[in-house]
Structures are given as C-alpha cells and as structure tokens.
C-alpha cells in the first residue's frame, strides 16, 4: 500500500504508521515475556500495545483503524511504547493534528531574498535552497558543479527526490545511493504529514511509485526523517571522492524553505577538492540560480 492521500489521509496514515511500527517490535524488546508459541502477526499484537499504554484494546484498535482521534497524552504514551525516535514522534503528532496547524499553500514558491543573498555570497561552499516536497528553489554555481546543472532541468521537474530516483548520474554520484534515497523518501513522508492534500506532492509520489519499485517499497515502510545534518560521500566525476558534511538552516520568514550547505573539514582532501571544483566550475560557467532571473 502506497498510502493514497485523500481528505481522510491523516487518520488512515496514522493507523498504517502505528501498524508498521508495532510489527517491528518483539515482546522481548518492550519487556514482555516470550510465550514460545507461534504468533499470528509480526511484532506486537494490538492488545500488547494497549496493555503497555494502559488503554483498552478497543480504544487502540479504533485508533489504528482510523475511526477516532487520540489525545496528546495518549499519543505520547504510544510513542514511548513503540520506541519512536524524535522524528517519528513528531510525524505521529502531525498526523494526529496535535502539532502546528497545516496551512494550505498554492502556487510555486520563490526563494526568500535573504537566502538568495547568502547563496550569492557562498563561492567556496556548495549550497541549495529547497522548498516544499524537496523542490529546488535556488542554488549557487558550486552546487551545480557538485550535483548537476539545475538550470538545464525544467522547473516543474527541479525536485531533489525526483532527481535521486530518475537521474542515472545520481546513482553514480552517491557512494551510498540507497542510504541517501531512503532518507529522501523518509523526508518526503514527513512532508506528506504536513500537506497531505498537496496535489503536486500526490503527483510526485504517484509518479515515483510507478517508475521505481524501490521508492514504492520504501514509501510503504512509513519511515520519516526531518532535514537536519549528516555526512555523505560523493564520487565526483571531476575531482573524485568527497566526504561532505551537510547542514540545513530554515528560513524564519518561511519555515518551508531550507538552505542546505555541504562542507569539507579544513585541511582535508575534500576541502582542497572543493577548491579545485570551484575553479573548474568557473571555467565551465556553471550558472547560479540568481543569474537566471
């Protein structure tokens, strides 16, 4: 099941998410005795989750079936019972409507002027600005040299998750393509909790599910992740291996816009190779987004 996104998506998605998470836990993991006999379901039973959360089995069953909403304290308890991490807990609360109120927004985003100025000033550091759904709103010349020439991609297709799954060069660029692709799907899942009725997000998920079996499988896993920090290794066709730390900054004027920067440790081979790449990009006239306006 790909989790079709309709008007009743939040409760249905919440139920699917809970079922997936409890299926991954054993009684021993949560401190329950092992009976030794065969179990009809993977992971924990509904009654076991209910017991650990101190709620009735009927209450929990209706919650998983999307027939009721839970209070914040109950959700908090269930999150602890299912050993959810911070991102998964935030996703659970978003699906239940217990966090930030969703705001429907239509039309295409434009990069915030402040973020554009930061991009323009970053000449030795690759950086991009992503919006909702992972849309690429802006980039600098070094980011174009590092990842791809975004200016050659039609605006409607200028989306990072889409690039990861549809551009063959991305599979060669990422040393651990699968790990990066899984993160991209998990981040997209988090977006779906915030904007379940976004038609472009629905279209993107449908397209990638049809085109790529791995995307469809990972989407069905209901893993979630926020855009934060991390380290990735790229195998660049010009400068070779780059071990890059990436960090994400969120615009206060639009929390749906995120500036992602890739850096190498000072004195490291990656730091020197980024300088070489910047020189190469200048020779190639790689275009930052600001020059396209």
107 domain-assigned:
no
Domain termination residue (choose one: 65, 96, 127): 96
Neighbours of 15 (CB within 10 A): 18
pLDDT, greater one: 187 or 291: 187
The residue that leads in pLDDT, 243 or 28, is 243
Cα–Cα–Cα angle for 265, 266, 269, rounded to 5 degrees: 75
Together in a domain, 145 and 177: yes
The answer to whether residue 169 is domain-embedded is yes
Please give the backbone phi and psi of residue 118, each rounded to the nearest 5 degrees, phi first: -60, -45
What is the band of 38 on the pLDDT scale with cuts at 50, 70, 90? low
**pLDDT digit string (tens) for 183-216?**
999 999 999 888 888 889 999 999 999 999 999 9
What region does 129 belong to: left with phi over 0, alpha with psi -120 to 50, or beta?
beta
pLDDT band of 140, cuts 50, 70, 90: very high
| Boundary residue ending a domain (61, 96, 131) | 96
With respect to residue 53, please indicate whether it lies within any of the assigned structural domains: yes
User: Are residues 127 and 152 located together in one domain of the fold?
Assistant: yes
Co-location of 60 and 205 in the same domain: no
Query: Which is more confidently placed, 124 or 242?
Result: 242
What CATH number is associated with residue 254? Answer: 3.30.450.180
The pTM assigned to this predicted structure is: 0.75
Does the pLDDT of residue 103 top 70, yes or no?
A: no
Q: Which domain holds residue 215?
A: 113-284
Residue 230 lies in a domain: yes
Per-residue pLDDT band at 30 (split at 50, 70, 90):
confident
Token duo for residue 100: 């930030």
Residue 102 lies in a domain: no
| Distance from C-alpha of 281 to C-alpha of 96, rounded to nearest angstrom | 47
Banded pLDDT at 8 (limits 50, 70, 90): low
pLDDT at 235 over 90: yes
Residue 3 lies in a domain: no
> Do both 61 and 188 map to the same domain?
no
> In this predicted model, what pLDDT tens digit does every residue of 156-174 receive, in sequence order?
999 999 999 999 999 999 9
7, pLDDT greater than 60: no
Q: Are residues 146 and 275 in the same domain?
A: yes
Q: How many domains does the chain have?
A: 2
**Boundary of a domain, candidates 96, 131, 153:** 96
242 — phi, psi (to 5°)? -130, 120
User: Do 244 and 272 sit in the same domain of this protein?
Assistant: yes
Q: Look at residue 106 and tell me if it is in a domain.
A: no
> Which domain CATH number covers 46?
1.10.260.40
Could you tell me if 84 and 184 lie in one domain?
no
**274 falls within a domain:** yes
Reply yes or no on whether the pLDDT at 135 is more than 90: yes
Whether residues 84 and 134 share a domain: the answer is no
> Highest mean pLDDT range out of 83-87, 102-106, 289-293?
83-87
Same domain (yes/no): 168, 257: yes
**pLDDT per residue as tens digits for the range 51-98:** 888 899 999 999 998 888 888 889 988 998 999 988 899 899 988 887
């Amino acid at each position: 099941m790909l989790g079709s996104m309709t008007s009743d998506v939040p409760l249905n998605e919440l139920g699917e998410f809970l079922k997936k998470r409890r299926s991954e836990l054993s009684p021993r993991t949560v401190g329950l005795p092992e009976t030794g006999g065969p179990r009809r379901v993977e992971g924990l039973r509904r009654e076991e989750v209910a017991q650990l959360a101190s709620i009735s089995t009927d209450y929990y069953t209706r919650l998983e079936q999307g027939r009721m909403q839970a209070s914040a304290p109950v959700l908090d308890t269930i999150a602890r019972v299912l050993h959810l991490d911070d991102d998964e807990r935030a996703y659970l609360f978003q699906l239940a409507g217990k966090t930030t109120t969703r705001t429907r927004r239509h039309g295409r985003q434009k990069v915030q002027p402040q973020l554009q100025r930061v991009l323009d000033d970053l000449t030795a550091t690759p950086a991009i600005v992503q919006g909702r759904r992972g849309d690429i709103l802006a980039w600098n010349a070094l980011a174009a040299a590092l990842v791809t020439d975004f200016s050659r991609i039609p605006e409607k297709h200028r989306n990072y998750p889409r690039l990861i799954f549809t551009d063959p060069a991305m599979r060669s660029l990422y040393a651990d393509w699968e790990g990066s692709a899984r993160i991209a799907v998990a981040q997209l899942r988090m977006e779906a909790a915030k904007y379940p009725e976004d038609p472009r997000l629905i279209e993107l998920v449908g397209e990638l599910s049809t085109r790529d079996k791995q995307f469809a499988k990972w989407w069905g896993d209901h893993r979630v992740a926020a855009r934060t920090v991390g380290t990735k290794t790229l195998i660049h066709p010009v400068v070779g291996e780059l071990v890059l730390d990436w960090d994400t900054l969120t615009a206060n004027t639009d929390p749906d816009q995120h500036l992602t920067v890739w850096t190498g440790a000072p004195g490291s081979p990656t730091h020197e190779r980024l300088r070489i790449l910047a020189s190469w990009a200048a020779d190639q006239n790689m275009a930052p987004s600001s020059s396209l306006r």
